[in-house]
Amino acid sequence: MSRVLDAIGWNGYSFVVIIFLAVPSHPSLDLSRFLYHRNVKSIKPFVLEVEPGEFPISRVYEYDLEFDSIPEGFDDLLAAVLDDACSQEDAVAWLSFEGCFNFGSILTPDMEGEIYGVCAHGEEAVVALSDNSPQWSKISEKMKSYRNRII
């Protein structure tokens, strides 16, 4: 397996993909359609908040998707989820590992390698699951641009 697949399967019995979504208003994201396809075991939503004014954005939405196993076409599925998340105007979404979120480091260069998928409204999602994927450089390029959209 790759570093990404090892990290999302750290618990030994499932694979947990964490999607973070920054959007100015309450998200209209409905991931329930993914529950019945491709080994999705559960979807758990969370709201991450800090005091208003502490950071330029004070709320990020987190969705934990738990899979029984890695389905065929996993990278395409994750790209579709990100594209869906970014269908809302001014939305920015990314895939990152558990324990890597911090308001102060949203999409910063020190998070490169911890973020394996990105998307923004009006743009196509980019996902890298293999260690030698050419998508890693695209993710790095987009991170700064996307950070400037939300910070």
Q: How do residues 24-59 score in pLDDT, each as one tens digit?
A: 877 777 777 766 666 788 889 999 988 877 777 778
The answer for residues whose C-beta is within 8 angstroms of residue 102's C-beta and 6 or more apart is none
pLDDT at 110 over 80: yes
pLDDT at 9: 95
Give how many domains the chain has, as a whole number. 1
Q: What mean pLDDT is predicted for residues 11-36? A: 84
| Cα gap 150→94, rounded to integer Å | 12
Q: For 116, what's the count of Cα atoms within 13 Å in the CB-facing half-sphere?
A: 24
For the stretch 67-103, pLDDT in tens is: 999 988 899 999 999 999 999 889 999 999 988 898 8
pLDDT of residue 34: 66
> Whole domain around residue 120: which residue ranges?
3-150
> What's the whole-model pTM score?
0.93
